[in-house]
A and B are shown apart, each in its own frame.
Chain A
Amino acid sequence: MSDTLERTELREQALLDVPWITIVWNDPINLMSYVSWVFRSYFGFDRAMADRLMLTVHTEGKAVVASGSREEMERHVAAMHGYGLWATLQKEDA
């Protein structure tokens, strides 16, 4: 019994430990310069990092811009929506 409980707790812990990620998706409207500026001003990335992520969004259709707890990723997604970027969150392995 205690064994099962322990295993369940371990499994739940493992689930909680899976990080969440914030994804920004490409769209034909947002200016590349604006997206890069948002990444720098909101996340504090340097220009090289912000430009690389912006280009990944542009060429690959999306980029992971942050990972961490679900609450933290929800704050990032809400902030991105405030800037007009198309952002979603999900579990890293989803």
Chain B
Amino acid sequence: MSRFHARGGGASAKFSLGEAAILAGLARQVAGVIAGRADTAGDPVLDRLFPSAYPDNDEFSSEFRRFTEDELGDEKVRNALALANSLEPKPDKVKVRVTLDAEDALVWLRALNDIRLALGTRLGLDDEGEPTVEGDDADFTVAVYDWLGGLQQSLVTVVDA
């Protein structure tokens, strides 16, 4: 599975076409869920991506949302789409190489984290990180979730060195 490595002051990873398609697809899905959030209120994924700042005070909480949520949502959509776009395959290549400078890495880390938050929430992870949702779809999601955890870990390691 793909991992990031340090390369010329930045980070670089090679993805198979399948991996690139899966990750870009997930990023676009997350961007879509966030962009369409007005129509899907109550979705646990959105609750996790936009947590209440004042869990014990509805009035302060809605005021906080009013002042911060649009910008936060726009940023998350931009990050996810930037990640998806950098996974665009080149003609005649069987791998997709992604090379990130420090600023791109920040975008990727946040986007990867949002995708993992979305997948982990859909899997209903318990406090131990074990999925509470079962079935073939869940098995595939768990595999992708684990892969993205390793991928994010490798990118943290590079930017943190």
A81 contacts which chain B residues (CB < 8 A)?
49-51, 53, 68, 72
B contacts with A, residue count (CB < 8 A) = 34
Q: Does B13 have its Cβ within 8 Å of any Cβ on chain A?
A: no
| B62 interface contact, C-beta 8 A | no
Interface of A, secondary structure class, is: mixed
Q: A90 on the interface (CB 8 Å rule)?
A: yes
- A89 and B53: CB pair below 8 A? yes
* B18 interface residue per 8 A CB criterion: no
Q: Is there an interface contact between B116 and A29, defined as CB atoms closer than 8 Å?
A: yes
Q: How far is the CB of A39 from chain B (nearest CB, A)?
A: 12
Chain B residues positioned under 8 Å from A33 (CB to CB): 153, 156-157, 160
B contacts with A: majority SS: helix
| B68 proximity list for chain A (CB < 8 A) | 74, 78, 81
Number of inter-chain CB pairs below 8 Å: 73
Query: B53 touches which one: A31, A37, A82, A87 (CB < 8 A)?
Result: A87
Q: Are B51 and A82 in contact (CB under 8 A)?
A: no
Given contacts A37-B156, A82-B110, A84-B117, contact A90 B54 (CB under 8 A): yes
Is the beta-carbon distance between B120 and A29 smaller than 8 angstroms? yes
Contacts of B50 in A (CB 8 A): 81
A43 at the interface (CB under 8 A from B): no
Q: Does A63 contact B (CB under 8 A)?
A: no
Contact B72–A78 (Cβ < 8 Å) = yes
Within 8 A of B (CB), among A56-94: 74, 77-78, 81-84, 86-90, 94
Residues of B participating in the A interface, judged by any CB pair closer than 8 Å: 48-56, 64, 68, 72, 75-76, 109-110, 113-114, 116-117, 120-121, 125-129, 149, 152-153, 156-157, 159-160
A residues near B (Cβ < 8 Å) are 27-31, 33-34, 37, 40, 74, 77-78, 81-84, 86-90, 94
